[in-house]
Amino acid sequence: MDTDSKKTFYITTPIYYPSDKLHIGHTYCTVATDAIARYKRLCGCNVMFLTGTDEHGQKIEEKAKQAGITPQQFVDNIVEGNGGILDLWKLMNISNDRFIRTTDGYHVNAVQRIFSKMYENGDIYKGKYVGKYCTPCESFWTESQLVDGKCPDCGREVIDAEEEAYFFRLSKYAGRVRELLLTGDFLEPASRVNEMIKNFIDPGLEDLCVSRTSFTWGIPVDFDAGHVVYVWVDALFNYMTALGYMNDAHDDLKKYWPADVHIVGKEIVRFHSIIWPAMLMSVGEPLPKKVYGHGWLVMDGGKMSKSKGNVVDPYRLAERYGVDALRFFLLRTFPFGADGNFSNELLIGCINNDLANDLGNLVSRTTAMAEKYFGGRLPENHRFHGEMDDALVSAVSALRGRYEAQMEKFQLQNALEEIFKVIQRANKYIDENAPWVLARDMDANGPRLAAVLYNLLETVRICAVLLTPFMPESCEKIFEQLGADEASRSWDSAARWAVLPADCRVVKGEALFPRIDMKKELEELEKMNEAPSESKSNPVLPNVTIDEFAKCDMRVCKVLSCESVKKSEKLLKFTLDDGSGAPRQILSGIRKFYEPEQLAGKTVVAILNLPPRKMMGLESNGMLLSAVCEVNGEEKLHLLMLDDSIPAGYRLC
Ligand code: MSP
C-alpha cells in the first residue's frame, strides 16, 4: 500500500524538560509510546510519532546560571551532548519520526503568532499577577518559592507585590471543557476524568497567567517587550507546530492533525485535558482525539527522582540487562494506567521468568531440536495435526485478535499477558509431546516429530511478530533463527497458521536472555549504588577555550578563620589569606558537610574574581572549590584541600 492511502496515526509523548538527566520514569513513558507507535506501524498505519524537549523556563535559566553557561548551552548539552536525551532515545530504540525542541526557530516564531492571535481575539488580556518581591535582589517570587518565608537568594524579608502579566480566559471555556471531558472518551483511563472534574472544573476554573516578566529565558511576547510566554503555552503548542502550524518548516498538519493520542503522565493530565483543549478552542483548531494519562513508576511508594540513586538510571539498566529486556520489563510489569512500584527484584524476576524461562527457553529448545534431529531443515512431508495439536494451534490462532483488543485500549501489560499465555502453553506442548522420546525411533516417528517442531516454530513466529513493538532487536534475532522472511514477519501473517515453509531452515542462535543470579546481582547492585553516577549520564559540559578558562583567577588560600553564619543553616563564613596581604571574606554553603572548627588552618582553592555577592547581609568575595557528586541519591561534597606546603597566593593554571 502506498503511504498516502494508509490510515494515519499521530501519537506524541510529552516533551521533556532538559533540566536534569532523564530517569527510568521518563523512559517508561517514551518506551510505552514507542511500543504503541510500532504496533500501529505493524498494523499498516502511516504513523507520525513525535517527541522532543521543552527547553524554556525559570528552572533552566537558574540551572544554567549555576553552571556558569548560557541557558542555550545548558539545554544543548542535555539534549544533544554525550549521554544526553537524544543518545538515550537512540539507545532505547525509540522510533520517533520527528523531534521538536521548543528553542527551534520555527516553533518560537509560531508561538509568538499564536499568542498574538489569542490576544487579538480577546482571549488574552493584560492584568496583574500577585506575588512576593525582594527589593534588594529585584526579584519576583511566588509564595512556594520562598524559603522560610524569605527571599531564596539572599534570605531577606520580601514584600507583597504585583507584576503586570497577561492572562488567558480559561474560565470562558470551562463549560465546553467540562462537556468534552464528560462525553465520549477524550480522556482515559476514565478515573482521570473524575479527578479533573472534581479537582479543577467543579471548584471553578480561573483565568491562567500566561506571561512572566521576572525572568527572560522564554519566548518573548513580540508586542510587549519584557514579557515571556508561559512555558506551558509554549510547550503544548509543540504538538501542532511540529507539523507546520503557523510555520513553513513542516507541512504535515492536514495529514496528521488532530492527533490520535497524546500519551502523558498523570501529573500533567490537567494541562492536556483542560488548558490545551481550551486554547485550541480559542484559536479555532480541532481538538486531539484522545489524551491518555498513564501512571507513575514509583520507588518505595514515592515518585522517582534523581535523589533515588543510580539504579533508576536507564543507561545503567540498559547496559546491564539489555535494552529489550528493560523495555519489556517496563511494559510487562506495570498496568499502564496505574502507578507501578519499581524494584530490582521485580526487574530481575521478570527477566528470569518471562524472558529466560518462558520465551528464551521456548526459542532455544525449539531451534536446538530442529538442528539436532533434522540438521536445521525440517522434512517437507510432515503437515498433519493430531488432536494433541488442537489446543496449541487454536490458542495461537486466536492470539492476534486478543492482543489487538488490548493494544487498541493501550493495555500493553494485558497484550503481553496474552502472548505469554501462549508461550507457556507451547512450553507445555513440548513436555506433552516429548520430542526426545519421538526421536528415539526416527523411522516411525520422524514425520510426527517434524510436525511437533513445525507447530512450535509457527508459535514462536507469531509470538515474535506480536512482540516486535516491545522488543524489536530480539524479535529480529528470533526471525533470523527461524529463517522467517519479510512476509512471515507481517501483521497479516500473525493471523495465519502455516506461513513458514514446511521445510523451513532453522539456525540456533545464542541464548537471547541469559538467566541472572538474583542474589549475586542484588548484592552487586547494592555496591554499584554506592558509587557515583557515570560520567555518561552526567555529561561533560560544552568546551570552553583556554582563554576563557584562563579568565578564572583560582588561587591557593589559607583559612585564617571559619565560623557559622547566624540564622543560616547553610552558610559558613571564611576569612582567608589569599597572598595579597589583606584578608578576604568568602561565604560558602557547605555548613551541612563541615563543622567550622574542622577547617581553620586548611589550605584551600578559591576563585577570586567572581563579582561580590551578598548573602544574609554579608559580602562574599569569591567562591571556594569543592568536589560534588551524588551518591546513593544523596549529595556528597568535599572541599578541595591542598598540601599545606603550598604557599597562599599561588595561582592554579
Ligand atoms: N515538559 C513537560 C511536558 C510538556 S508536554 C507539552 C514535562 N516534562 S517532564 O520531563 O517533567 O516529564 C515528561 C514526562 O515524564 C511526563 O509525562 C511525566 O509524567 C513523565 N514522568 C516523569 N517521571 C515519571 C515517573 N516516575 N513515572 C512515569 N512517568 C514519569 O512534564
The pLDDT tens digits of the residues spanning 361-419 come to 999 999 999 999 999 999 987 766 677 899 999 999 999 999 999 999 999 999 999 99
Of 269, 262, 267, nearest to 290 (Cα)?
262
The enclosing domain of 370 has a CATH number of 1.10.730.10
How far is it, in rounded angstroms, from Cα 56 to Cα 82? 21
Alpha helices by DSSP H, listed for 10-102, are 24-42, 58-67, 71-80, 85-91
The span from the CA of 133 to the CA of 150, in Å, is: 10
Q: Quickly tell me which residue has 518505595 as its cell.
A: 300
29 lines ligand 1 (CB under 6 A): yes
Domain identity same for 466 and 390 = yes
**pLDDT computed for residue 271 by the predictor:** 96
Domain termination site, one of 463, 495, 527:
495
Q: Provide the CATH number for the domain around residue 596.
A: 2.40.50.140
Total number of domains constituting the chain: 2
For ligand 1, atom 28: residue with the closest CA:
296
Same domain, 354 and 465: yes
Cross-strand bridge partners of residue 620:
613
Residues 463 and 572 in one domain: no
374 lines ligand 1 (CB under 6 A): no
The reply to whether 58 falls in a domain is: no
Residue 215 lies in a domain: no
Question: Which cell is 47 given?
Answer: 504513523
First to last CA, the chain: 65
Domain boundary (469, 495, 521) is at 495
| CB distance 334 to ligand 1 below 6 Å | no
Classify residue 80: in a domain, yes or no. no
Residues 451 and 559 in one domain: no
Q: Are residues 488 and 554 both part of a single domain?
A: no
Asked if residue 461 and residue 349 are part of one domain, the reply reads yes
Q: Is residue 60 part of a domain?
A: no
Q: Does residue 133 form part of some domain?
A: no
Per the domain annotation, does 504 fall within a domain? no
* pLDDT at residue 143, rounded to an integer: 79
50 lines ligand 1 (CB under 6 A): no
Residue 288 has a pLDDT of: 98
The pLDDT of residue 532: 55
pLDDT of residue 537: 44
Tell me how far the alpha carbon of residue 262 lies from the centroid of ligand 1, in angstroms: 12
Question: For the segment 86-140, what is each residue's pLDDT rounded down to a tens digit?
Answer: 999 999 999 999 999 999 999 999 999 999 999 999 999 999 988 888 777 666 6
550 plus 467 within the same structural domain: no
Quote the pLDDT of residue 530.
Answer: 64
How many Cα atoms are found within 13 Å in the side-chain-facing hemisphere of 233? 32
Which grid coordinates belong to 620?
Answer: 562574599
The verdict on residue 59 lying in a domain is: no
Q: Is 236 in the pocket of ligand 1 (CB under 6 A)?
A: yes
- In-domain check, residue 468: yes
Residue ranges in the chain whose pLDDT is less than 70: 1-4, 137-140, 301, 303, 305-311, 383-385, 529-540, 630-634
Q: Which residue owns the Cα nearest ligand 1 atom 24?
A: 25
Residue 556 alpha carbon to ligand 1 centre in Å:
44
Residues 362 and 460 in one domain: yes
Decide which of 456, 476, 495 is a domain's last residue: 495
Place of cell 468534552: 180
Is 442 in the same domain as 583? no
Please give the distance of CA 635 from its chain centroid, rounded to a whole number: 23
Instruction: For residues 550 and 630, state if they share a domain.
Output: yes
pLDDT at 311: 47
52 CB within 6 A, ligand 1: no
* Residue 384 confidence (pLDDT): 60
- 559 and 440, same domain (yes or no): no
Residue written as grid cell 518471562: 354
In sequence order, what are the residues at sequence separation of 6 or more whose Cβ sits closer than 8 angstroms to the Cβ of residue 194? none
Alpha carbon separation from 367 to 363, 364, 572 (Å, rounded): 6, 5, 68
CB 311 within 8 A of CB 529: yes
Question: What residues make up the domain containing 632?
Answer: 546-639
Same structural domain for residues 388 and 474? yes
**Minimum-distance ligand 1 atom for the alpha carbon of 239:** 6
From 11, 13, 16, mutation site for ligand 1 pocket: most ligand atoms within 8 A of C-beta: 16
